[in-house]
């Protein structure tokens, strides 16, 4: 009786192997071929998009979306080839997706924010932006967050959800920027001379743009100084350089012609 059972089970196992071996082999071939074709197709699509000068962020996003979509289809095909009912599997996958979606509402908001950023392009890679209290150059726009590099070489990750719904100040989108500097001079100063000296300083600096032309305006009669607003234009990447050079060169030029920059004085009164 034991021998008969062993022979029966052996026969069942052999029949099962014979029946399912082709399916397993086919499934393995489909799996590896599908994974290989997925990678090749994704790389090809990315190259085509880049060749057609599609924004690199959008190209990466489309490539990643196609990559994972095709892999899911390959996986479903493999499961189906093994005889597993795909309708039940898709239902289970949908239920699992719904549960995960409810658990990851914040991440879905960031995902939607990433799509909005890619579509409407409030900034691109390399732009200097200010958002969520941070200032930095955009180094990477990912699906869920955006990576900035600050001026002191710190990496900041900002969730795309809050980034897309908040105020974004893009300093480099227009290509040029205007400086708004305030310089105070003594009340005894000749204002025409002061303006001429400042404009001459700006004219000699090759990084200051001729168009739009720089402007010097009297903005305030303060308690101890006449405050002038100095507004030169420059390329965005030269902003900090022009800021420093203008202040330094104006101070040197003022000293050369005797224009005084007032500063607080303390008078000591001696008691008799």
- Indicate whether 14 and 66 sit together in one domain: yes
Query: What are the two backbone dihedrals, phi and then psi, of residue 221, each rounded to the nearest 5 degrees?
Result: -100, 90
For the entire predicted model, the pTM comes to: 0.59
Q: Which of 114, 39, 102, 123 is CA-nearest to residue 74?
A: 39
Percent helix / strand / coil, the chain, rounded to 5? 55, 20, 25
Same domain, 77 and 57: yes
Q: What is the pLDDT of residue 192?
A: 94
Instruction: Give residue-wise pLDDT tens across range 144-167.
Output: 889 999 989 999 999 998 898 889
- Domain boundary, last residue among 152, 170, 188: 170
Give 131: exposed, middle or buried? Use CB within 10 Å, 0-12, 13-18, 19+: buried
75, 52: one domain: yes
- The tens digit of pLDDT for each residue in 220-242 reads 998 889 999 999 999 988 999 99
Q: How far apart are CA 74 and CA 60, in angstroms?
A: 21
Under DSSP, is residue 135 helix (H, G, I), strand (E, B) or coil?
Answer: strand
- Measured from the Cβ of residue 69, the count of other Cβ atoms closer than 10 Å reads 12
48-90 pLDDT, tens digit each: 777 776 666 667 777 777 877 787 788 777 777 766 666 666 6
Domain membership of residue 109 (yes or no) is no
Q: Give CA 8 to chain center in angstroms.
A: 66
Q: Which domain holds residue 229?
A: 176-257
Q: Could you say which of 136, 152, 170 is where a domain stops?
A: 170
Do 144 and 97 belong to one domain? Answer: no
Query: Is residue 112 in some structural domain?
Result: no
What's the total number of domains in the chain?
A: 3
Neighbour-count burial for 200-214, b at 16+ CB within 10 Å, e otherwise = ebbeebeebbeeeeb
34 within some domain: yes
Looking at the structure, tell me whether residues 47 and 24 fall in a common domain: yes
Check whether residue 10 and residue 88 sit in a common domain.
yes
> Is the peptide bond between 212 and the residue preceding it cis, with omega within 30 degrees of 0?
yes
């Amino acid at each position: 009786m034991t021998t008969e059972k062993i022979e029966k089970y052996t026969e069942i196992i052999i029949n099962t192997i014979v029946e399912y071996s082709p399916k397993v082999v086919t499934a393995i071939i489909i799996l590896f071929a599908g994974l290989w074709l997925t990678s090749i197709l994704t790389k090809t699509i990315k190259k085509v998009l880049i060749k057609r000068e599609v924004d690199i962020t959008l190209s990466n996003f489309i490539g990643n979306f196609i990559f994972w979509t095709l892999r899911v289809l390959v996986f479903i095909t493999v499961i189906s080839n093994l005889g597993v009912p795909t309708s039940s599997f898709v239902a289970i996958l949908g239920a699992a997706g719904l549960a995960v979606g409810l658990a990851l509402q914040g991440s879905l908001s960031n995902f939607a924010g990433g799509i909005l950023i890619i579509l409407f392009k409030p900034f691109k890679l390399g732009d200097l932006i200010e958002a969520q209290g941070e200032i930095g150059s955009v180094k990477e726009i990912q699906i869920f967050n955006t990576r900035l590099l600050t001026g002191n070489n710190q990496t900041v990750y900002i969730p795309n959800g809050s980034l897309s719904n908040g105020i974004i100040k893009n300093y480099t989108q227009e290509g040029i920027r205007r400086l708004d500097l305030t310089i105070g001079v003594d009340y005894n100063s000749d204002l025409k001379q002061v303006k001429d000296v400042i404009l001459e300083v700006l004219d000699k600096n090759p990084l200051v743009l001729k168009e739009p032309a720089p402007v010097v305006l009297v903005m305030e009669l303060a308690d101890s100084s006449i405050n002038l607003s100095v507004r030169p234009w420059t390329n965005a990447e030269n902003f900090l350089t022009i800021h420093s050079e203008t202040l330094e060169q104006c101070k040197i030029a003022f000293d050369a012609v005797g224009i005084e920059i007032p500063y607080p004085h303390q008078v000591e009164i001696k008691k008799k």
